[in-house]
């Protein structure tokens, strides 16, 4: 996948999103077509909303889905007691560990020790690695599908001109999408 090809297939609004990202204008409004109505809704960095039965947010200027884990984190925050051992979470790493593993530092350490002792550690690491790839593929697919289905305003060519959208371009994007997903799948363990 060449960089020029990628650039060519970006829609104008996506170029703007990336421009915001590069310029660090995270707080800038990103105009997004909402659902099937194609109505333009202004969203700001960090905003979370429901659309097409998914939860979306703007992170670093780019529209993306919020994973279930992230959502759970936002809803529950850090409780006073560890849900597994019911002790008060006052260890210096408890908050950080709870955010990632939803258990206290001590519980996570014994969980990992147990995995290692029972020979399941590698499998566990593999699972984490593969679920990260799944998540990346899912977000990428949604983004590309959104590009294809939600845009008919043309795209920016290498020379910076806005060219009109055609079926030929869609074919290219779908091909690139498949190549990218194939690559991501090859990273699986």
Q: 66-91: buried (b, 16+ CB within 10 Å) or exposed (e) per residue?
A: bbeebeebeeeeeeeebeeeeeebee
User: What is the DSSP code (8-state) at residue 43?
Assistant: E
Element (H, E) at 107: helix 105-117
The least distance separating Zn ion from the CB of residue 33, rounded to whole angstroms, comes to 45
Q: Identify the residue among 72, 85, 88, 109 touching Zn ion (CB under 5 A).
A: 85
Q: Identify the residue among 11, 32, 82, 147 touching Zn ion (CB under 5 A).
A: 82
CB of 90 or CB of 186, closer to Zn ion: 90
Residues of span 86-105 touching Zn ion by CB under 5 A:
104
Is 108 a binding residue for Zn ion by CB under 5 A? The answer is no
The least distance separating Zn ion from the CB of residue 113, rounded to whole angstroms, comes to 13
Which structure tokens are listed for 176? 């690139």
Q: Are 169 and 152 in contact (CB under 8 A)?
A: no
Is 112 a binding residue for Zn ion by CB under 5 A? The answer is no
What distance in Å separates the CA atoms of residue 133 and residue 181, rounded to the nearest whole number? 10
3-class DSSP state for residue 84? coil
CB of 46 or CB of 83, closer to Zn ion: 83
The least distance separating Zn ion from the CB of residue 112, rounded to whole angstroms, comes to 13
The least distance separating Zn ion from the CB of residue 84, rounded to whole angstroms, comes to 4
Which structure tokens are listed for 179? 């190549």
Q: Identify the residue among 11, 32, 58, 107 touching Zn ion (CB under 5 A).
A: 107
Contacting residues toward Zn ion, per CB under 5 A: 82, 84-85, 104, 107
């Amino acid at each position: 996948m060449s960089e020029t090809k990628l650039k060519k297939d970006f829609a104008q609004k996506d170029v703007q999103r990336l421009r915001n990202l590069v310029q660090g204008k995270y707080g800038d409004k990103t105009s997004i077509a909402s659902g099937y109505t194609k109505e333009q809704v202004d969203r700001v960095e960090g905003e979370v909303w429901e659309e097409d039965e998914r939860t979306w947010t703007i992170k670093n200027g780019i529209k993306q889905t919020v994973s279930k884990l992230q959502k759970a984190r936002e809803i529950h925050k850090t409780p006073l007691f560890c849900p597994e051992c019911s002790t008060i979470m006052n260890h210096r790493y408890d908050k950080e560990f709870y955010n990632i593993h939803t258990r206290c530092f001590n519980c996570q350490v014994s969980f990992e020790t147990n995995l290692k002792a029972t020979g399941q550690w590698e499998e566990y690491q593999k699972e984490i690695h593969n679920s990260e790839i799944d998540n990346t593929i899912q977000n990428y697919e949604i983004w590309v599908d959104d590009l294809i289905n939600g845009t008919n305003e043309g795209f920016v060519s290498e020379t910076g001109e806005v060219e009109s959208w055609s079926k030929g371009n869609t074919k290219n994007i779908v091909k690139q999408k498949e190549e990218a997903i194939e690559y991501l799948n090859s990273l699986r363990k």
